[in-house]
Amino acid sequence: VKKQILDEEIYCSPEATVLLASYAVQAKYGDYDPNFHEPGFLAHDELLPKRVLRQYQLTAEMWEEKITAWYAEHRGIARDEAEMNYLKIAQDLEMYGVNYFPIAQNKNHTDLLLGVDAKGIHIYSINNRFSPNKSFEWSAIRNISYSEKELTIKPLDKKAEVFKFFSSQLKVNKLILQLCIGNHDLFMRRRKVDSIEIQQMKAQAREEKARKKMENQRLAREKQLREEAERAKEELERRLFQLEDEARQANEALLRSQEAAELLAEKAQIAEEEAKLLAQNAAEAEQERQRLEITALKTKEEKRLMEQKMREAELIAVKLVKESDRRAKEAEHLKQDLHEAREAERKAKQKLLDITRLNCPHMVNYPQYSATDTRDANFDKGSIKLDLKDIDLKRLSFEIERERLDYLEKSRRFEDRLKELKSEIHALKLEEKQSGLY
């Protein structure tokens, strides 16, 4: 039957050919296994008629994909059952089981086809093998006979017309008659009641079929359970691998988190140290700012003090100049007074000598005579004046010396003070220059 379909002796639609091809593959290879039946495993199998291949612009891979899609649906069907399904589909085809013979209604032309099948005899036109022009069922045929090339079909109804036709050869009529006898016998057998033995055989066959079906179902169930167990095992293995992978990823994530935490801790510590350093720098900067402010204030204060000291020094210098002038004037007056006093003393002494020479010349010639009493008596008042004058001169000399010493001491102190002021002013100028540099 498969060969007749592939050779296009039996017409089959493209959809039916794909379904029949899937059952043929199931009968040959068994259940579909994607791990074993890889793409291209049907490359060397002839499964479709050439008419169907020419009708559609599809590649061999596309046809294989379509057949494999149906083939995968037949999982669990036994090989012999797949063959039976193939035959069940094939027997529903219009041309299944029909044997065609060219015939003619006269001896000269062959313009008809006679078909013999299990249902009866059919007359077709030469171009249409699907729809018969006339049919004779086996139950309606009374007799079939031939004479040479002439074949006669007598209906059961005597009033019906007898159909006569001619074949090309005598042996064709013999073959037609044999096919008709065989199909008629089968038809009559199907109509008869089966004997007990046949019924028992059919019952045994049904039981055997049911047993095989149950066995196949059991095997299919076991196979399904085994496949489910394998799939469950694969799923568990996949899940285990996934869990291991997730655990590994979680461990790696934990390690990364720990490393990140350590890095964050280090960064936090560094940030804290930087914050401390910045705070310290800020504090130092604030201290420096305050120091500079204090220095600036101090500089201003020192500058003010320096200016004040300079003013004081200037005042002291002015005072010293004035005092020096005053002292110089006083010294000049004192010198003048001293000179006048010494001149007066000299004059007094000269006058005394003159008086002495005039009044007591013997004192000069006779120094052994004492004139103390006389002098005391005669010049008591003048002696007192001379003694007082001498005392004034001594006091005046003493005061002059004391004033001179005081002047020298004050001058020395003023000079020391001026030196100190100059040193302080110089130091302040240096500090001011250094502050300007910073």
Give residue-wise pLDDT tens across range 226-276. Answer: 888 888 888 888 888 888 888 888 888 888 877 877 777 777 777 777 777
Domain limits of the chain?
Answer: 2-91, 99-192, 295-437
Q: Which residue, 23, 30, 75, is CA-closest to 224?
A: 75
User: Residues 300-308: contacts with CB within 8 Å, 24+ apart?
Assistant: 302/428, 302/431, 303/428, 303/432, 306/424, 306/425, 306/428
Q: Is 24 exposed, middle or buried (0-12, 13-18, 19+ CB in 10 A)?
A: buried
pLDDT at residue 114 tops 80: yes
Q: Looking at residue 341, what DSSP letter applies?
A: H
pLDDT at residue 49 tops 70: yes
pLDDT at residue 426 tops 80: no
**What length does the chain have?**
438
Task: Please tell me the predicted confidence (pLDDT) of residue 31.
Answer: 83
Among 156-165, 221-230, 307-316, the minimum mean pLDDT is found in: 307-316
Task: Please tell me the predicted confidence (pLDDT) of residue 118.
Answer: 83
CA distances from 196 to 127, 176, 187, 201, 203 (A): 47, 34, 20, 8, 10
The whole model's pTM is what? 0.46
> Which residue has tokens 């009641």?
193
Cβ proximity of 183 and 118 under 8 Å = yes
Residue 70 CA to residue 26 CA, distance in Å, equals 10
Residue 199 CA to residue 193 CA, distance in Å, equals 9
* Fold matches, 2-91 and 99-192: no
CA distances from 434 to 219, 249, 308, 426, 428 (A): 108, 66, 22, 13, 10
Q: Which residue, 47, 82, 81, 80, is CA-closest to 66?
A: 47
Task: Please tell me the predicted confidence (pLDDT) of residue 108.
Answer: 64
**CATH-assigned architecture of domain 2-91:** Up-down Bundle (1.20)
Question: What is the sign, positive or negative, of the torsion defined by CA atoms of 42, 43, 45, 47?
Answer: positive
Cβ proximity of 120 and 138 under 8 Å = yes
**Cβ-based neighbour number of residue 231 at 10 Å:** 11
At residue 381 the predicted structure's pLDDT band, cuts being 50, 70 and 90, is very low
Among 4-8, 33-37, 260-264, 364-368, the minimum mean pLDDT is found in: 364-368
At residue 363 the predicted structure's pLDDT band, cuts being 50, 70 and 90, is very low
Q: Name the phi and psi angles at 32, rounded to 5.
A: -75, 130
Question: What is the sign, positive or negative, of the torsion defined by CA atoms of 355, 357, 361, 366?
Answer: positive
Give residue 52's region: left, alpha or beta (phi > 0; psi -120 to 50).
Answer: alpha
User: Apex CA 152: angle with CA 149 and CA 155, to 5°?
Assistant: 170
State the chain's mean pLDDT as an integer: 77
Residue 54 CA to residue 36 CA, distance in Å, equals 30
> Which residue has tokens 């049911």?
210
pLDDT at residue 361 tops 60: no
Task: Please tell me the predicted confidence (pLDDT) of residue 331.
Answer: 64
Query: The CATH number of 99-192 is which of 3.30.1510.10, 2.30.29.30, 3.40.1180.10, 3.40.190.10?
Result: 2.30.29.30
Q: Amino acid identity, residue 134? A: K
Higher-pLDDT residue of 367, 248: 248
Strand order in the sheet with 150-155: 134-137, 120-125, 112-116, 99-104, 163-167, 150-155, 141-147
Among the ranges 141-150, 283-292, 360-369, which has the highest mean pLDDT value?
Answer: 141-150
Task: Please tell me the predicted confidence (pLDDT) of residue 201.
Answer: 87
Collapse the DSSP code of 404 into the 3-class scheme (helix H, G, I; strand E, B; otherwise coil) and give the result: helix
Task: Please tell me the predicted confidence (pLDDT) of residue 368.
Answer: 42
At residue 324 the predicted structure's pLDDT band, cuts being 50, 70 and 90, is low
